[in-house]
A and B are shown apart, each in its own frame.
Chain A
Amino acid sequence: MSDILEVRDLTKTFRLSAKQQKLERTKQKLRVAVNGLSFTAREGEIFGLLGPNGAGKTTTLRMLATLIRPDSGDTFVDGKSIVREPDQVRRRIGFLTSELKLEDCFTPNYLYDFFSELHQVDRAVRIARKEDIFTRFGIDRFAEVKVADLSTGMKQKVSLAVSLVHDPEIIIFDEPTNGLDVLTARVVTDFLEELRDRGRTVIVSTHIFSLVEKLCDRVGILIDGRMVQCDTLANITRGESLEDRFFAIYKETAGEME
């Protein structure tokens, strides 16, 4: 299996606003959110970025999705640089986070068509794909209901459908089950596995151990913007629970940092 995603030495520093400094009770002006991060993901696997709050997961994924630019380092998606060829990268990835919202006043049907047009998907292809995914997620019954009137779970399913209009090779998903009930969460994780089985690459970020254990083939543990371990799930857990291993690793790195 070949590496379809190659993250090389990504670094991102934010300048904290005065408001943010006050909020977080810190005098630091700069915050290194991601610090020299490297990893690779292979075709047809689910890769998990595991880390506590503020570890830099969202920042990393935003850089991969070309929403923000790294200060240094680069990433290649199917050989295309996120820095130099962001357009090419955007064609190859689907990005989904709970911060990316759909406009309330539109229907799932309208939004699916709208994003298909932005991705320049052929009409015939679009119709077939829409039919397929709308029935798969049970969106068809709500196709003409405004997003504002949908349940949280249904909204998430619509977001997922919309982010995949162009059938991307890489699906990047920030906190895929955040805020979802068990039923919807199950539908989503089942779908991610199905995508993998169709040869797609899935990158998820989460702080939920059980999700990683259930879903991921390989895991990167992210603490304070650094990748402290990156390996197959089995090599990381070594027979223990992921939670125990994570805390052991966390203590080691905390010790190193002092």
Chain B
Amino acid sequence: MRSSVFTIMKKELARFFGDRRLMVSILMPGILIYVVYTFMGSAMGDLFSVDEDYVPTIQAAALPDSIAALTQAAGLPTEPCQDIQAAKEEVTAQELDLLLVFSEEFDREVAAYEAGSGQAAPNVEVYYNSASAASQTAYMTVTSLLDAYESGLANKFDVNAGVDCDLATEEDTAGSIFAMLLPMLLMTFLYSGCSSVAPESIAGEKERGTIATMLITPIRRGDIAVGKILALAIVALLSGASSALGTILALPRLMGGAMEGISTNIYSMRDYLLLAVVILSTVLVLVTVISILSAFAKTVKEAQSYATPLMVLVMLLGVSGMFGGGASRNLAVYCIPLYNSVQCMSGVFSFTVMPAAVAVTAGVNGAFTLLGVFVLAKMFNSEKIIFSR
């Protein structure tokens, strides 16, 4: 590498690592994400889960003996209901979890009922309150009990009785969840990493009047551009890594029970390697684009506002990965910077990545970065950009 590129890189890195305020702003997203997700996770957990020892309060009107035996066996004590209207109001007020209303003579009607006879089938009404987690849980338990009883009566055949018939492997389940969520999250983190450093370094130097000091030395403009972009990519990666770490640590807490039994340890070394290539080339593209946008701005604030449309674009691309249904197999798709990143990430996480696609992505992004460096160097040479009033 040319020594002046190295000099610029060294200076940029020294600036970031020497400034505590900048370091905080780089590492903060990760810490914030961890705290917020953990907090959200525990709050949501409280909201949706019911204490396992909790015994729901259930009232039943005209409870037939058959069902009474069932609920008894399931450990759901029921009380007889005197006033249906009053009981309904109690359910609404969340004072009562469940109300069952059977037709009189339920057992006899069931025994007499013949399917296809045209007669109305005997009915049971189950009242619950979906706003209450306890009521919701009780509803699920009781209806499944009733369903089981009903199919038991017909007893023509059973479906999935006592066998786990989900043939998806644990890998696939985890993979499809990760392929949904992670490209979007990763892209957002990489963007926020890049946007927390590039405006500072490009527009900031313009704003503070320090870039001209460098421009009167014989250093090539291209070397400044390359040095800056490499240094920014390193710092942006760090910032992105901090966000990613925060997420990885907090994700199990956020997902709570949903993550149980899902192993994150399902990707091979090859997957991680491909992912690293994708992330690196994505960061280069993002840093380059934000740097160029920043070079147009007079102040850091202005630069950040210029970069906002890019943020929206990155988020949209991330979301697009959620619905694409896996990575594209068409190599031409991988010629579009940023979109190719999302596609590759979905591919890696869903085990469908094609190494050729990653290669195309790395190549295209590399070429894009070079072009950007060229543009940035031209901009550094332009007095309209550097001395705009």
Contact = CB atoms under 8 A, between A and B. Distances in A.
- In which size bucket is the chain A interface? 20 to 34
Given A62-B387, A119-B217, 13 more contacts: A17-B388, A19-B389, A67-B216, A69-B383, A100-B213, A101-B210, A103-B205, A103-B208, A103-B210, A106-B14, A114-B11, A117-B3, A118-B4
A252 interface: no
A225 B195 CA distance: 42
Interface stretch (A40-48, A87-95, A206-214): A87-95
Given A68-B383, A102-B210, A105-B19, A87 B4 contact: no
A118 B7 contact: yes
B15 A118 contact: no
Interface string A99-142: 11111111000100011011110000000000000000000000
Contact of A118 (B210, B219, B387): B219
Nearest to B4: A118
B218 interface: yes
Interface string B2-39: 01100100010011001100000000000000000000
Nearest to A113: B7
A65 interface: yes
B212 interface: yes
A20 interface: yes
Given A67-B383, A69-B383, A105-B19, A100 B218 contact: no
Contact of B217 (A19, A69, A90, A103): A90
Contact of A101 (B4, B208, B387, B388): B208
Given A17-B389, A67-B383, A68-B383, A105 B215 contact: no
Given A101-B213, A102-B213, A103-B208, A117 B7 contact: yes
The listed residue with most B CB atoms (<10 A of its CB), out of A69, A91, A100, is A100
A35 interface: no
Nearest to B7: A117
Contacts of A114: 7, 11
Interface string B208-236: 11101111111100000000000000000
Contacts of B11: 106, 114
A89 to B, nearest CB: 9
A66 interface: yes
Q: Which 9 A-B pairs have the closest CB atoms?
A: A101-B209, A68-B383, A118-B217, A90-B218, A100-B213, A117-B7, A118-B219, A95-B216, A103-B210
A63 B117 CA distance: 101
Contact of A105 (B15, B212, B213): B15
A20 B387 contact: no
A183 B307 CA distance: 46
Contacts of A62: 387
B205 to A, nearest CB: 8
A99 B216 CA distance: 13
A117 B209 contact: no
Nearest to A94: B216
Nearest to B386: A67
A102 B209 CA distance: 8
B15 A65 contact: no
26 contacts: A19-B389, A20-B389, A67-B386, A68-B383, A68-B387, A87-B218, A91-B218, A95-B216, A99-B209, A100-B209, A100-B210, A100-B212, A101-B208, A101-B210, A101-B213, A102-B213, A103-B208, A105-B15, A105-B19, A106-B14, A114-B11, A115-B213, A117-B3, A118-B4, A118-B214, A162-B213
Contact of A115 (B15, B208, B212, B217): B217
Interface string A175-201: 000000000000000000000000000
The listed residue with most A CB atoms (<10 A of its CB), out of B19, B209, B216, B389, is B216
A110 B14 contact: yes
A162 B210 CA distance: 13
Nearest to B217: A118
A105 B22 CA distance: 11
Nearest to A16: B389
Nearest to B11: A114
Contact of A90 (B208, B213, B216, B388): B216
B218 A103 contact: no
A68 B209 CA distance: 15
Nearest to A14: B389
Interface in B77-127: none
Interface in A65-91: 65-69, 87, 90-91
The listed residue with most B CB atoms (<10 A of its CB), out of A62, A103, A120, is A103
A146 B69 CA distance: 82
A248 B250 CA distance: 78
B83 to A, nearest CB: 77
A65 B14 contact: no
Given A100-B209, A106-B14, A65 B7 contact: no
Nearest to B214: A118
Given A110-B14, A117-B3, A66 B216 contact: yes
Contacts of A118: 4, 7, 214, 217-219
Interface string B184-216: 000000000000000000000100111011111
B4 A100 contact: no
Contacts of B218: 87, 90-91, 118-120
B161 to A, nearest CB: 70
Nearest to B208: A101
A68 B384 CA distance: 9
Contacts of B213: 100-102, 115, 162
The listed residue with most A CB atoms (<10 A of its CB), out of B3, B205, B217, is B217
B358 to A, nearest CB: 37
B18 to A, nearest CB: 6
A117 B4 contact: yes
Contacts of A102: 210, 213
